[in-house]
Amino acid sequence: MERKAEMTEQIVKKEIAFEEVQSFTEIKASKTQMTMSQGQTVTLRANIPEASDVKWILNGAQLSNSENYRYGVSRNDHTLTIKSISHHDQGILTCEAKTEHGVVKCQFDMTVSAMRSNAPSFLVQPHSKNVNEGQNVTFTCEITGDPSPEIEWLKDNSVISITSNMKLSRSKNVYTLEIHNATIEDSGKYTVKAKNKFGQCSATASLNVLTLVEEPAKMIIVEKASDATSVQGSYSAKHEASKMQETSFSSSSMAEVKFESMSASSMTSMTSERMIAMSSSSMMALSSHSHVEGSSIKAISYGIPPKIEAAPQDISIESGKVLTVACAFIGDPTPCIEWSHSGKTLSSKEQESGRLQIETSQDVTTLVISGVKETDAGAYTLKLFNEFGFDTTTVNVRIRSM
C-alpha cells in the first residue's frame, strides 16, 4: 500500500510540473491603437512586471537601442522613445518580454499622419520707434505656434538683462517689452525670437532715444534772382528789397539778417544765389511778404538714404517648414523694396501662388515661404532704394533633408 501511494504522489507531481511548463509558454498580449503626426517625438510605454530580455519589434524586425530609438525602464514600465517619428514607423510595434509566468507581448498599432506645420510665425511684428529721453516705450508683437513657442528678447544680439525700468509680459499670443523713462543707453536694435520643435522665427525693431535740444532747428532757404527780370520786375524787386531792408529777422540762436537795397540796373543784370539761415519764426515773417516778381524762393529738400538696420544671419531649415526672413530698415522717403533669389527678382506672379509672401510695414520687410523645397535654397538679396541712395543685404538659406 505504501509503495502504491508513493507512485501516485510522483505521478501527481509530474502532472503539476507539466502544467507549469505549459503556462510558461502561454502568450499574453495587449493591443493599443495610436495616431501621431510626422516629426513628433513619441514615447511608448509597456507595463510588464518582473520582465527580462525585453525587445521592441517593428513589423517583425527588432529595433536596436540607438539615438533615434531609445530604450528605457522605470520600475515595471518599459519605454521606447522615437526621436522623430516618420512614415517608416507606421505598422505594428511590439514590446516583447519574458516573465516567470510566460512571454508577454504589448502591441501598438501605429498610424502616422502628415506633418503639421505649426512652426512659430508673426501675426504682428514689433515696429521701430523714435522717442525723446524720459518717454515710455512699448514693443508689441503677436506670435502663433503649436506648441506655444519659447520667446526670447535680445538687444543688439545679446539676451536682454532685465532692469528696474524694463518689463516683459505676455497675454495669450501677444508678447510685450516695456521700457520706462527711456535713456540714451536704451537705444539699439531689439529682436524677439520664437522657437518650438517645428521651427523658429524672429523680428527686429530699432529704438532711437533722442536728446532734447533747446535751440530750434534751422532751415536753409535758397533765394535766386533771375537775370531775365523785366524793368517792371526790377522795380518791383527793388521796391520789395527796400521794404525788407527795414525788417530784420532775428532769433535766439542767430545774428540779425537784413536785405540790402540795390538799383534796378544791378537787379536786371545780376544772377545771384544767397543762402540765408533762419529759424522757424523768421520763416513766418518772410512768408508774410508778397511774392517778388522775377525771382523765386525755394526750400532745399532733405531726406535719408535707405539703411538696413538689422538682418538675420544665414539660415539652415528643414524641407517642408516655413521660412521667415525679416529685415528692419530706415529711409525717408520710405524706400522701394526688392527681394531677389539667386539674382532673380521675386515677382508678384510668384506671390500669387500663395506659397511665397512679401509683407512690408513702415520699417520692416518680411519674406515668408511656406513648405520650403530644395529648390528654395540659395542667396536671398534685399535691395532698398529711394532718391537719396540704396542699401542691400544678402541671406544664404540652406535646406536640410528630413
The closest alpha carbon to 286, from 297, 275, 295, belongs to 297
The average pLDDT across 163-170 equals: 89
Structural contact between residues 95 and 53, judged by C-beta atoms closer than 8 angstroms: no
Burial zone of 175 (CB within 10 Å; 0-12 exposed, 13-18 middle, 19+ buried): buried
pTM surpassing 0.85? no
Encode pLDDT of 186-198 as tens digits: 999 999 999 998 8
What are the Cα distances from residue 372, in Å, to 44, 355, 360, 369? 31, 9, 21, 6
Is the pLDDT at 137 greater than 90? The verdict is yes
- What structural domains and CATH numbers belong to the chain? 19-113 (2.60.40.10), 118-210 (2.60.40.10), 305-400 (2.60.40.10)
Q: Give me the helices (H) in 259-376, please.
A: 264-269, 280-287, 348-352
Lowest mean pLDDT among 101-105, 283-287, 326-330, 343-347: 283-287
| CA 131/CA 207 separation, integer angstroms | 8
- Strand segments, DSSP code E, in 48-196 are 52-58, 61-62, 69-74, 77-82, 91-99, 102-113, 121-124, 129-132, 137-144, 150-155, 158-159, 166-171, 174-179, 188-196
Encode pLDDT of 168-180 as tens digits: 999 989 999 999 9
The average pLDDT across 107-126 equals: 84
The average pLDDT across 364-378 equals: 87
Mean of all residue pLDDT scores within the chain: 74
| Higher per-residue pLDDT: 107 or 101 | 107
- The pLDDT of residue 293: 42
Rg (C-alpha) for the chain, rounded Å, is 39
| Higher per-residue pLDDT: 362 or 156 | 156
| CA 248/CA 279 separation, integer angstroms | 13
| Higher per-residue pLDDT: 277 or 399 | 399
Considering 2-6, 262-266, 291-295, the range whose residues carry the highest mean pLDDT is: 2-6
Encode pLDDT of 29-48 as tens digits: 678 888 888 878 889 988 88
The average pLDDT across 340-359 equals: 79
**How many CB atoms within 10 Å of residue 366?**
20
Encode pLDDT of 57-68 as tens digits: 999 999 998 888
| CA 330/CA 363 separation, integer angstroms | 6
The average pLDDT across 118-143 equals: 92
